[in-house]
């Protein structure tokens, strides 16, 4: 994942995506959505340290029948930190459709970057 300002990369993070790849269209398909999405403010998460909501599906996608919720950018799952790090290192995608960074420090840096720049949207692409 690249965090960019004015077209230039500020930071890069290794991530895990949905278990079934990208191109989310329905709830439970285990895919990460592609497109431009609004972001909610980063918040504390019992399950993932910090969770940044991704506003999927867009209104246009919802009109086309896309379904799903609870998509976000987050840290490693609580209690599974070492597994998440290992999965990221071997490029295993393990999420249910989210974008997961490898460490708590990584998601803290992502959240700080979003807050500092007051980022309101993200483009998810591969």
Q: Which CATH fold topology does 14-124 show?
A: L,D-transpeptidase catalytic domain-like (2.40.440)
**pTM score:** 0.88
**Whole-number pLDDT of residue 26:** 96
- Flag whether pLDDT at 89 surpasses 90: no
Domain locations along the chain: 14-124
**Whole-number pLDDT of residue 82:** 63
Averaged pLDDT score across all residues of the chain: 89
**Whole-number pLDDT of residue 45:** 95
**Whole-number pLDDT of residue 81:** 58
Which residues make Cβ contacts (< 8 Å) with residue 76, sequence separation at least 6? 48, 49, 84, 85, 100, 101, 102, 103, 104
- Flag whether pLDDT at 94 surpasses 60: yes
Question: Collapsing DSSP states into helix, strand and coil, what is residue 56?
Answer: coil
Q: How do residues 60-88 score in pLDDT, each as one tens digit?
A: 999 999 999 999 999 988 876 565 555 55
């Amino acid at each position: 994942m690249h965090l960019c300002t004015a077209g230039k990369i500020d930071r890069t993070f290794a991530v895990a995506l949905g278990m079934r790849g990208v191109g989310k269209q329905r709830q439970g398909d285990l895919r990460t959505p592609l497109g431009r999405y609004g972001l909610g403010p980063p918040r504390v998460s019992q399950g993932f340290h910090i969770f940044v909501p991704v506003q999927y599906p867009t209104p246009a996608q919802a009109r086309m029948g896309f379904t799903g919720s609870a998509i976000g950018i987050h840290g490693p799952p609580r209690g599974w930190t070492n597994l998440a790090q290992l999965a990221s290192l071997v490029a295993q995608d393990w999420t249910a459709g989210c974008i997961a960074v490898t460490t708590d420090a990584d998601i803290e840096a992502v959240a700080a970057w979003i807050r500092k720049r007051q980022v309101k949207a993200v483009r998810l692409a591969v």
